[in-house]
Copies of this chain bind each other. A is one copy, B any other.
Amino acid sequence: MGKTLIFGHKSPDTDTICSALVYANLKNKLGLDAEPARLGEVNKETQFALDYFGVDAPQFIEKVADDVERVILVDHNEFQQSVDNIKDVRIAEVIDHHRVSNFETKEPLYFRAEPVGCTATILNKLYKENGVEVEKDMAGLLLSAIISDSLLLKSPTCTQEDVDAAHELAKKADVDLEKYGLEMLQAGADLSDKSPAE
């Protein structure tokens, strides 16, 4: 099987970037040649999370290259939020937590949407279903995505599943959920050009 590219939506948020990175990690562990990508700039909140857990941002792509055999969409399904040439590529999977709209395929695919607050919560389940342990840095990224989408478990879209996953992942990532979460959200809210370390 050729290369698989995994990416989230345009104007990426922390769930989109982290879910692409983490799902590529899971796919690699399952023996698939998968690479994470992004469709836009990494924002400050997301960069804080990447720096904290020592993970590089995924590659930026403007469109899916010709040598890519299949793509996996995370954290979105609507074509207008996706890569510009989405209609020309084979969509093998979608992992998402949004309504389904403006989406279609020519062939059957793995489509996993759940009405939870964050894609990362679904990915945490996929590790379990596949019997793969979530490593510390990946747990940190999944936790960061949940904190971001749920505004530290306070948004109305946050479900009990998100809350349970966040607590479980905080343990694996070895951070204090409240303390880390506030620092991360503050890093995103920081309008100055100072890096979190300054």
A-side interface residues toward B, CB under 8 Å? 97-116, 129
- Specify the main secondary structure of chain A where it touches its partner: loop
Q: Is the CB of B103 within 8 A of A100?
A: yes
Min CB distance A16 to B, Å, is 16
Min CB distance A127 to B, Å, is 14
Q: Is the CB of B111 within 8 A of A111?
A: yes
Q: How far is the CA of A107 from the CA of B106 in the complex (A)?
A: 24
Additional A-B contact list (11), CB under 8 Å, known A100-B103, A111-B112: A98-B108, A99-B104, A99-B105, A100-B100, A100-B105, A100-B109, A109-B115, A110-B115, A111-B111, A111-B113, A112-B112
Q: How far is the CA of A95 from the CA of B125 in the complex (A)?
A: 18
Q: Is the CB of A108 within 8 A of B101?
A: no
Min CB distance A77 to B, Å, is 9
Q: Is the CB of A108 within 8 A of B97?
A: yes
Q: Which residues of B have CB within 8 Å of A98?
A: 108
Min CB distance A58 to B, Å, is 25
Q: Is the CB of B105 within 8 A of A115?
A: no
Whether A102 contacts B99 in the complex (CB less than 8 A), given A109-B115, A113-B111, comes out as no
Partner of A107, one of B110, B112, B115: B115
Q: Which residues of B have CB within 8 Å of A102?
A: 104
Quick one: closest B residue to A97, CB to CB? B108
Min CB distance A44 to B, Å, is 27
Q: Which residues of B have CB within 8 Å of A104?
A: 99-103
Q: Which residues of B have CB within 8 Å of A109?
A: 99-100, 113, 115
